[in-house]
Chain A
Amino acid sequence: MKPVRLWFKKDGLAVYISHLDMNRCMTRAVRRADIPLWYTEGFNPHPYMTFLMPLPLGQSGMREPLDIRIEGEMSFGEIQKRLNSVMPEGIEIVDVAKPEHKPNEIDAAEYEVDLWFENASDAEKFSLGASKIIEGGVLNAEKRSKKGIKTVNLCELVRSFDVSACENKVYIKTILAAGNTVNLNAELLVNSLLSELSLEETDRNIVRTKLLRSDLSIFE
């Protein structure tokens, strides 16, 4: 039994596949690819498969980790080739590697967010307003957790935040807390900023670009 970390990209219409559905989708993909999966030994054997950081519905991911276990020998290159030949549109295996870090070492994630507005002045307004709020250090929002809804200061979960506007488009690059204990969904941050500034976007695009460890080195 050998642990293997798959790194996949999810974009296009595949962003509308929910996390639960991704699970089913990937289980079937590894079966189609005839990868010698290791099955759990319980009453209902199922392949071992763990998504380390479920991607919220509607967001793209450039490099998302998925841990599996295999039985027997198969090279990483072969696994990648086989999987990509059976993947549905919008999902691609970009790398297969040995897991370097433990899942709980994920501490932050980098996002790139595009927002489109009616006009350049709204974009400008958002860009200026948002950096001011983040610098100010207070942006309270209701956050749902297992224990119920509580108010959280989102700024405490923002590690870095760059925003700029060009014509009617706003471009954000940000690093947010991620992981099992504290996590900030980029969508919540964007929605809170928009409502705080009383602005409405016409379209948006959120991409998670990388996962990071606490020293901001890349999670591998």
Chain B
Amino acid sequence: MYPKELERFLLKVQKPGRYTGGELNSVVKDKNSVDIRYAFCFPDTYEIGMSHLGMKILYSLINAREDAWCERVFAPWTDMEEVLRENNIPLFGLESGDAIKDFDILGFTMQYELSYTNVLNMLDLAGLPVRAKDRTSLTPIVVAGGACVCNAEPIAEFVDITLPGDGEEVTNELIDLLKEYKAKGATKQEFLAAAAQIKGVYVPSLYEVEYNEDNTVKSVTPTCGAPEKVEKRNVADLDSMFSPTEFVVPFLEVVHDRTTVEIFRGCIRGCRFCQAGFLNRPLRRKSPETVEAQCKAICNSTGYDEISLCSLSTSDYKGLEKLITNMLPWTVEQKINIALPSLRADNFPKELMEQLNAVRRSGLTFAPEAGTQRLRDVINKNITEEEVLTTAAQAFAGGWTAVKLYFMIGLPTETEEDIEGIANLAQAVVDEFYKNPDKPKGKGVNVSISVASLVPKPFTPFQWEPQDKPDVLIDKQNYLISCVKTRKVTVSRHVPWTSFLEGVFARGDRRLADVIETAWRKGCKFDGWAECLKPEVWEESFKENGIDPYFYTARRREYDEILPWDHMDYGVTKKFLMNENVKAHKGETTASCREKCAGCGANRLNGGVCDETGKTVV
């Protein structure tokens, strides 16, 4: 069971509960009764990882199999890493305490580019070589999934397999295949070649990449019969798809600690900066009946008193009112709060909002994303200032005194006027508060604006766009702050260097592997944590490997350039993205899928079906 030698150190580290396991609904099996041991690795802390829905789904899905046992592994915080290294304790699974280097599959979820160094660090802590080519035995196979693997090239040298798209079906198929190949004593090469034939499996080592003299990609050539284009995996029917009825209930306070049920995948909106909105097309909807049943089951098995109905744009769910009306009686009775993240300002009925706050009142957040209508048209965030102000006025009338607004800077075609527009919009929201005759006495208003920096991502219309350099972003941030004239508006901003590094990896290629390894060897990890990020070490690492990071971020790419991720197929066609890019520069908007099908092409992956348009044309 749990490594006894470790217990002695648990009281010497912060939050020992990160490393003990044993939470309610965690799954302990007899290791001798399973064929495949799977370590689900989250390359960040326990608190972040335990909030992630994808992990909960795959954990339950794998453990539902009798022949496999899935355990959880998180990146140990630096204090625990020291303990592990000093005492030669290899990284272990939380459920068994066994070293994961002896497991069959290590599955990393890649949600964030700045966790790449943590993947290397975890492999190393496990006692494994970080490069895929140096791990020669069949097992453990290192697999990666999640949004970042739409461009897995920067980590292609470290992982054996990536799983673009939905993981629910392909995970089982991969386990079946490994079980078969393990039984017949196959080599890793034989297994990888066979795995590459599964839809939704990418084996980077089976592709040869050549570069032009200007460092752009010249060609990507599949070998060993691997497909020319790797199509992402798409689960067609969300109602029959595996969905967990139990969540592991952490003891520690984690970021999102509640029942989370997805209501649909994909998005009808087409905001041009939003990668998730394009990667997850076509739209597939879960029925309200399924959603409600899943919410009930998870609340019963966990004791959670909050439900989050999650999607990329929850108020776009057809049947949301009906769903909530059905759920309110039992949730109010059991004092369960329903949270609706990702609401839009334009289409959420006020009455529903009031009913929802029957149990506990949650915060109010809008995402206008840009300060002027012109720029909102460029990014296709089809929301007007009037809509924001009307909703804010309603909220103030309902007793709210704090509103959060999300914006981005560094957007294509952005001018000073657009940045000033952010401050003006925030001011207009403040003014709206004072227009309200019934405003609560003696209470001021607080409008907090959070300003992120655009990181152009693959598979978005902005994938060809240059990204602002950190010093430009700092100037823009400072300009914004100088435009804010009231203390009722507070501004929080992202670290420009973080966005820069994120941008390098998001649109990077395989030549970055050496940089990542160098930086990690020099001590970089948890790069997404401001207190751990070491810009000077990264700069050194780029230099040592002769790589200009601005090649990846600051350059406008030509439409005919071969992009490092062009051999991945996420359904949405490159032609559609190009057309959207052209429209962005003209300031033309594209209607939501509900109004008119824009012909993105993603329904091709779903047998021609998109749950939004109901169309079955190919």
Contact = CB atoms under 8 A, between A and B. Distances in A.
Q: Which of A20, A39, A86 has the most CB atoms of chain B within a 10 A radius of its CB?
A: A86
A16 B10 contact: yes
Interface in B11-33: 11, 15-17, 20-24
B335 A32 contact: no
B2 interface: yes
B20 A13 contact: yes
Interface in B289-312: 300-305
B21 A13 contact: yes
Contact of A32 (B11, B23, B251, B301): B301
A30 B334 CA distance: 12
A203 B303 contact: no
A29 B303 contact: yes
Q: How large is the interface on B (under 10, 10 to 19, 20 to 34, 35 or more residues)?
A: 20 to 34
Nearest to A25: B251
Contacts of B334: 31
Contacts of A24: 251, 253, 257
Q: Which of B21, B23, B334, B359 has the most CB atoms of chain A within a 10 A radius of its CB?
A: B23
Interface in A16-56: 16-18, 20-22, 24-25, 27-32, 39, 44-45
B417 to A, nearest CB: 43
A90 interface: yes
B22 A31 contact: no
Given A16-B16, A16-B17, A32-B301, A21 B252 contact: yes
B2 A13 contact: yes
Given A21-B252, A21-B253, A28-B249, A16 B20 contact: yes
Contacts of A203: 8
B251 A45 contact: no
A28 B303 contact: yes
Given A58-B11, A88-B24, A89-B22, A17 B251 contact: yes
A87 to B, nearest CB: 8
Contacts of A14: 22
A145 to B, nearest CB: 21
Q: Which of A13, A18, A88, A90 has the most CB atoms of chain B within a 10 A radius of its CB?
A: A13
Nearest to A88: B24
Contacts of A202: 8
A216 interface: no
Contacts, number: 69
Contact residues of B: prevailing secondary structure = loop
Contact of B22 (A21, A22, A28, A90): A90
B302 A88 contact: no
A29 B249 CA distance: 10
Contact of B303 (A12, A31, A45): A31
B615 interface: no
A197 interface: no
B133 interface: no
Q: How large is the interface on A (under 10, 10 to 19, 20 to 34, 35 or more residues)?
A: 20 to 34
A122 B427 CA distance: 71
B591 to A, nearest CB: 42
A80 to B, nearest CB: 17
Contacts of B304: 28, 31
A57 interface: yes
Given A20-B253, A21-B253, A32-B300, A57 B16 contact: yes
A32 B303 CA distance: 5
Contact of A31 (B20, B252, B305, B360): B305
Contact of B360 (A17, A44, A89, A90): A44
Contacts of A17: 17, 251
Contacts of A44: 360
Nearest to A32: B303
A134 to B, nearest CB: 24
Contacts of A57: 11, 16
Interface in A51-96: 57-58, 86-90
Given A24-B253, A88-B23, A18 B303 contact: no
B335 A88 contact: no
Given A12-B22, A29-B303, A31-B303, A39 B17 contact: no
A86 B24 contact: yes
Interface string B19-60: 011111000000000000000000000000000000000000
Interface string B220-251: 00000000000000000000000000000101
A89 B28 CA distance: 11
Contacts of A30: 303
Contacts of B335: 39, 45
Interface string B448-473: 00000000000000000000000000
A190 to B, nearest CB: 12
A88 B304 CA distance: 15
Interface in A154-178: none
A20 B303 CA distance: 17
Contact of B17 (A21, A27, A45): A21
A20 B359 CA distance: 23
Contacts of A89: 22
B22 A13 contact: yes
Nearest to B300: A32
A42 to B, nearest CB: 11
Nearest to A45: B335
Interface string B296-331: 000011111100000000000000000000000000
Please name the 7 residue pairs, one residue from A and one from B, whose CB atoms are nearest each other, closest first: A28-B303, A31-B303, A32-B303, A16-B16, A21-B251, A88-B24, A13-B20
Interface of B: 2, 7-8, 10-11, 15-17, 20-24, 249, 251-253, 257, 300-305, 334-335, 359-360
Given A31-B305, A32-B301, 17 more contacts: A13-B2, A13-B20, A14-B22, A17-B251, A20-B253, A27-B305, A28-B249, A28-B303, A29-B24, A31-B334, A32-B303, A58-B11, A58-B16, A86-B24, A90-B22, A202-B8, A203-B8
7 contacts: A13-B22, A21-B17, A21-B253, A24-B257, A28-B305, A58-B16, A88-B22
